[in-house]
Amino acid sequence: MSTAPTNAFEWSDLDERTVDTARVLAMDAVQKVGNGHPGTAMSLAPAAYLIFQRFLRHDPTDPAWVGRDRFVLSPGHTSLTLYTQLYFSGYGLELDDLKAFRVAGSRTPGHPEHGHTAGVETTTGPLGQGIANAVGMAMAARYERGLFDPEAPAGESPFDHTIWAIVSDGDLEEGISAEASSLAGHQKLGNLVALYDDNHISIEGDTETAFSEDVLKRYEAYGWHVQRVTPKANGDVDVEALAGALAAAKAETSRPSIIAMRTIIAWPAPDAQNTAKAHGSALGAAEIAATKKVLGFDPEKTFEVSDQVIEHARRVIKRGKAARDQWQQGFEAWRAANPQRAAEFDRIQAGELPEGWKKAVPTFPAGKDVATRKASGETLKALGAVIPELWGGSADLAESNLTTIDEDSSFLPEGNPLKSASPFGRTIHFGIREHAMGSTMNGIALHGNTRVYGGTFLVFADYMRPAVRLAALMKLPVTYVWTHDSIGLGEDGPTHQPVEHMASLRAIPGLSMVRPADANETAVAWRTVIERQTTHPGPVGLALTRQNVPTFDREVFASAEGTAKGAYVLAEASNGDPQVILLGTGSEVQLAVQAREALEAEGIATRVVSVPSFEWFQEQDQAYRDSVLPPSVKARVSVEAGIAQGWRELVGDHGRIVSLEHFGASADYKVLFEEFGLTAERVIAEAHNALRALEAVNR
């Protein structure tokens, strides 16, 4: 099923003209809008064209074809590198789209955006994220193969495909690429090929300003297959040498591959080539005219594309269909030989869950205190037993996060000495690489056909934030298991105690944060996350306790089913008409429950509302929200072991907030809660304050 070139390399004048057309389009598109990055798109044009025309297994008429290779442009600033190939290949972009580059509403925004432009596999721009996404895609491809066709010889399964990535100096300077590349080498991801555009130029000039290590030696140390391609005497890409290197990289299936390709940015612009200005600025009319003369184009014309060039480039559609037909034959043979696996494949492709899966979700008995991280771990194992596409792990904190879905199945390559090692294992060992974990999870989700989660301490979500933001931006179905969610983790002290993190994460549009109050809320939260992944796209973070918390008696308190709505009445006022409402989340809900008992004993009708998720609550209609928080009840008190930001919208102008506005300390969590005023007594006092203030206003 390979579409790699034969040993007799062919490169025609028309191929050369098509590449030069891509260079002209890059110059003209940036010049027209007045900003952008023309230089790299010019120098990368031969490589991108070669990959799309000769190596990438794809069908431009069906960008979502499950058997396709994946292409990732990690330096998203050179988006024209990708857009011109999508235009040439027939993905639906046309010349007018290139003319509308960076214009509002166009299909060619400044950086490629997944879900916005057909053929764009991931949103790139923040450097290093793309290569980490590619690592995740390669991991997902291997796990998918294990789900559906584990016995097939290497290279003979319809689920074998290659992840192609172009990376830049900037990508390799960002620490995320080191984390992800180390992981890829450790995992021996032989289905990953990275082409490193070694152009020696960044915004501040020659990369000698900040970047001087031998990249290939570094990647060799990671366990990658390394090659180098030098330019031709005139400075242009040696396409034949590059084709040989790409073919060798594809043939190397026991480890990931990287090819360092020396390029001259903005080649062949007479004055702009090899300059920092060419990286991020329009070349100017005079330089563009001079470059067009060098390339044999009319300097008076803009966006010049001959019918012959387009006809030639779009022959890739025919080649793609032929590759797909060949793949389809193998796929149909697999279906016939594996009817049960084929049925599983169809279910997963359709976004459906196994029949009766909800029965596996555990229910926890009242009367026993259970940490929500422990309840999460038990729920995860129960779900794993019935949802084979669910997999994931932790950033070396599985013993604390309780994220091991299967102790006898670790996602590790052949040759790994661990007893549980399997190339198709379910438990991912991300290592101490939170940032890479977040970004590879994005790649796994983008690849499709699996459901992924990853765990670490909530305080270390800071390391993951760029990846989390991109997951929200792309609306990816990834799940974060963030444990040790407050000062309740105790003696590890302020470096490990998240104080501002819940508010900070709640501030990310599209990310749902869920902080369950007890074991049953945790189980319902997991069930809801799994259900939502096909109906409410977007990432979800579970914030879970280290310390034990009470498991509420649901015959006394309301059902934990309310968790799915983000907030619900856990305990109603004794007379059904509350004077004050106490709101809590996570481990602090128990404080609200204790405070209610005291207030009710004083004759103050008190309602307790559990608020596991601000975001899920905001999704509910106004009638439901008002039923939980009646506008007429203005005496409200919230309690959470974190900063107050975000609670004012729920408690209102007259409400009171019990919060923590400073860092924690190293001590037993019970001591800390008492010392910092996170107590039922404090909640009671604030309830009285709210009621008195309202009385004063109403006099």
373 is in an annotated binding site: yes
111 is in an annotated binding site: no
125 is in an annotated binding site: yes
279 is in an annotated binding site: yes
Q: State yes or no: is 434 an active-site residue.
A: yes
Separation between Cα atoms, residue 49 and residue 403, nearest integer Å = 43
Could you tell me if 610 and 564 are in contact, meaning their C-beta atoms sit under 8 angstroms apart?
A: no
Comparing CA positions, the residue from 195, 235, 231 lying closest to residue 215 is 195
H or E, element range at 699:
none
Cis peptide before 268 (omega within 30 of 0): yes
460 is in an annotated binding site: yes
Separation between Cα atoms, residue 598 and residue 326, nearest integer Å = 73
Could you tell me if 371 and 547 are in contact, meaning their C-beta atoms sit under 8 angstroms apart?
A: yes
536 is in an annotated binding site: no
* Strands lying side by side in the sheet with 540-544: 421-422, 410-411, 427-429, 390-394, 451-457, 478-483, 540-544, 512-514
Q: Which of 434, 615, 640, 686 is catalytic?
A: 434
586 is in an annotated binding site: no
The size of the chain, in residues, is 699
627 is in an annotated binding site: no
200 is in an annotated binding site: no
258 is in an annotated binding site: no
DSSP state of 350: T
Separation between Cα atoms, residue 241 and residue 612, nearest integer Å = 57
Separation between Cα atoms, residue 533 and residue 476, nearest integer Å = 8
Residue 222 CA: distances (Å) to CA of 165, 182, 190, 256: 17, 5, 13, 10
Could you tell me if 97 and 107 are in contact, meaning their C-beta atoms sit under 8 angstroms apart?
A: yes
Residue found by looking up tokens 């594309």 in the block: 305
206 is in an annotated binding site: no
Could you tell me if 130 and 165 are in contact, meaning their C-beta atoms sit under 8 angstroms apart?
A: yes
Separation between Cα atoms, residue 614 and residue 628, nearest integer Å = 13
Beta strands at 201-202 and 205-206: parallel, antiparallel or unpaired: antiparallel
424 is in an annotated binding site: no
79 is in an annotated binding site: no
347 is in an annotated binding site: no
199 is in an annotated binding site: yes
262 is in an annotated binding site: no
Residue 574 CA: distances (Å) to CA of 200, 577, 602, 605: 72, 8, 12, 6
37 is in an annotated binding site: yes
Binding site, annotated residues for Mg(2+): 169, 199, 201
Binding site, annotated residues: 37, 77, 125-127, 169-170, 199, 201, 279, 373, 400, 460, 484, 492, 496, 546
Which residues have a catalytic role annotated?
434
Binding site, annotated residues for thiamine diphosphate: 77, 125-127, 170, 199, 279, 460
Binding site, annotated residues for substrate: 37, 279, 373, 400, 484, 492, 496, 546
